[in-house]
Structure 1
């Protein structure tokens, strides 16, 4: 799917060498997965055709790219588990704020009692 290319990811991380390219590509892919899963919709690069049978599918927006880059930065900088961390939040609040306008909020059907 590649919503963020390697060159953009490296610029964001301020990495000038190619030693970490494989890890950066892995973390970029993981960041994209986290963001798209949170949005609960198909997100495609500009120019790709949206599926006709999915009214929640969308093209990537600048705020989504920014969220992916912030998530990438977090994954790249925090490669080890932080034993001091008290929160079990999956993503930083700034990432959630960028994604909130685009997230699909689904209603859970209420249970009926007979």
Structure 2
């Protein structure tokens, strides 16, 4: 299971060929790892699903009787924005401009953070 699929990412990137599938999947994995870390949620492994209402981490889909929520649209969009950033800017060096965090990504993910206290 994943926050977004390779097909969704390719559609977002307007990529119609299969030549970059491996690198796009790496960007999806990195973006999802970043999103999970930012939200203080467990990453999703292939054999796991995350309940969004009870975000105490992931549980094995075979052992849970809790209804599992769908990944929120804002989280998917944040992951797609990150994948787009990674795909378009494949190197870290930025010349002649100021590079900063992506406020749209943090804004989309912030409302899904857990464990922040009061």
What TM-score comes out, normalization by structure 1 length?
Answer: 0.74
Structure 1, unaligned runs of 5 or more: 108-114
Question: Radius of gyration: which is bigger?
Answer: 1
**Aligned match of 1:94:** 104
Structure 2, unaligned runs of 5 or more: 58-67
Matches within 5 A, 1:1-114: 1-42=1-42, 48=49, 50=51, 55-57=55-57, 59=69, 60-81=71-92, 82-87=94-99, 89=101, 92-107=102-117
Compute the RMSD of aligned alpha carbons: 2.6
Q: Give aligned pairs, total.
A: 101
Farther off after superposition, 72-81 or 36-45: 36-45
Q: Compute the displacement of 1:96 (Å).
A: 0.5
